Amino acid sequence: MDLKNRCHGIVMEIWYSIKHFDKEYQQLCKEKSLLYSPYFLHDVLCCFKKQIIYSILMNPFLSVFEPLLTNIACHILSLRNRRRRFINKWRKKRIPSCNTEDLSFSPFGTHRIELVIERKKYTFHSYELQQLIMSSLLHTEHYMIVDPLPIKNPYTGIPFTKPILYYLYVNLKVHPLFFYFAKMGFDPNQFLLHYEGLLRTHLIEKTILEYNDEKVKKVCKKMLEELTIYNFSTGDYEAIINIEKINQPLKPFILQYYHSLFSLNPYQRELEYKSLIRKLFLLRDNPNIFMYIIP
């Protein structure tokens, strides 16, 4: 019964599209002295079940009708896509969600995304999926060495399929890294191969943003201990400045410090190192450049 209704729906789509371009068909028949027969167009379109537009273009016997049949075929495909979207939307509303709370056991608000995976519906907040995507793309087991992972459903541990990832790419505001991930066909290995330097940069920024105040001070103290300058008067190396005398946000200094250590570009490491030392030196009370050797 379902197959019969489906076939009836396809036939109605074809007839509706033919009637939609009926004026163009009549005009073509007058110009080319052809027999006007909508049944002929119907039979032709019914013969091409798959790759309908390709079949029309590759058939030399339909060259006269090619523009008209192509327009009709595009109209049919547009109607089918509309019908599928409506049916999928209706089905999605009827399917009960497998999770009634988010990952933090809080109720869902109005802004949420519903994914139907293997006839089961999972509900997410947008920011949950955004964090899930970034944590997978910037995954690391060793310090500052990126090892991207497949983006998985947190409720099942099964990686999202490509159609689901494309759906997220179109409907979710995501980080630009996800654009490059889509460009590589959602392949983590190819993504790492082509964009390892970019991933390292974003991993450094993400790591520093997650530092709390205590961690920032600890890292900054270690940084100042390692960054020294040579004093001509004492003949020894000394710290550039104490952390108590820095009256500026510390994270920008740590960002440059990490780039000087972990960047894959050796030229960037050198520039960031020299720039950082000069910035810290200028924060001294009486910076006298002639008394020190500064890289």
Task: Based on the fold, state whether residues 143 and 227 are members of the same structural domain.
Answer: no
What are the backbone dihedrals phi and psi of residue 62, each rounded to the nearest 5 degrees, phi first?
-110, 20
Q: Give the domain-ending residue among 139, 172, 199.
A: 199
39 inside domain: yes
Residues 161 and 239 in one domain: no
Residue tagged 């509303």 (tokens): 93
Instruction: Give the mean pLDDT of 104-115.
Output: 78
pLDDT band per the 50, 70, 90 thresholds, residue 3: very low
**Position 135 in a domain:** yes
**Confidence tier at 96 by pLDDT (50, 70, 90):** confident
pLDDT, tens digit, 9 for 90 and up, residues 223-274: 998 888 777 667 677 778 888 888 889 999 999 999 999 999 999 999 999 8
- Residue 204 resides in a domain: no
Q: Which DSSP state fits 96?
A: P
Q: Does residue 20 sit in the same domain as residue 81?
A: yes
Structural domain includes residue 186 = yes
Task: Inform me whether the pLDDT recorded for 85 exceeds 50.
Answer: yes
H-only helix segments in the chain? 2-20, 22-32, 38-47, 52-57, 66-94, 126-137, 162-171, 176-183, 188-209, 213-226, 251-262, 266-281
pLDDT > 50? residue 4: no
pLDDT of residue 165 exceeding 90, the answer is yes
- Contact of 140 with 146, CB cutoff 8 Å: yes
Query: How many Å apart are CA 120 and CA 97, to the nearest integer?
Result: 7
Determine the Cα–Cα distance for residues 95 and 120; give it in Å rounded to an integer: 7
The domain tally of the chain equals 3
Give domain status of residue 138, yes or no.
yes
**Contact status, residue 21 vs residue 72, Cβ threshold 8 Å:** yes
Residue ending a domain, among 48, 76, 94, is 94
Is residue 107 predicted with pLDDT exceeding 90? no
105 in any annotated domain: no
Q: Are residues 31 and 68 in the same domain?
A: yes
Q: Is 174 in contact with 151 (CB distance < 8 Å)?
A: no
CA 164 → CA 117, 121, 122, 265, distances in Å?
8, 12, 12, 35
C-alpha to C-alpha distance for 236 and 259, rounded to whole angstroms: 27
pLDDT tens-digit profile of 15-30? Answer: 888 888 888 888 888 8
In whole angstroms, what separates CA 287 from the centre of its chain? 47
Claim to verify: residue 237 and residue 287 sit in the same structural domain? yes
Distance CA 149, CA 86 (A): 34
Q: Is residue 180 part of a domain?
A: yes
**pLDDT averaged over every residue in the chain:** 83
Helix 251-262 vs helix 188-209: angle between axes, to the nearest 10 degrees?
150
152 Cβ partners below 8 Å, 6+ apart? Answer: 132, 136, 158, 159, 160
pTM of the model: 0.68
The whole-number average pLDDT for the span 8-18 is 74
Residue 11: pLDDT band by 50, 70, 90 thresholds?
A: confident
Percent of the chain with pLDDT over 70: 88
In-domain check, residue 117: no
The contacts of residue 46 (CB under 8 Å, 6+ apart) are 11, 14
Stated length of the chain: 295
Q: For residue 238, what are the domain limits?
A: 213-293
CB 263 within 8 A of CB 269: yes
Please identify, among 54, 79, 94, the residue that sits at the C-terminal boundary of a domain. Answer: 94
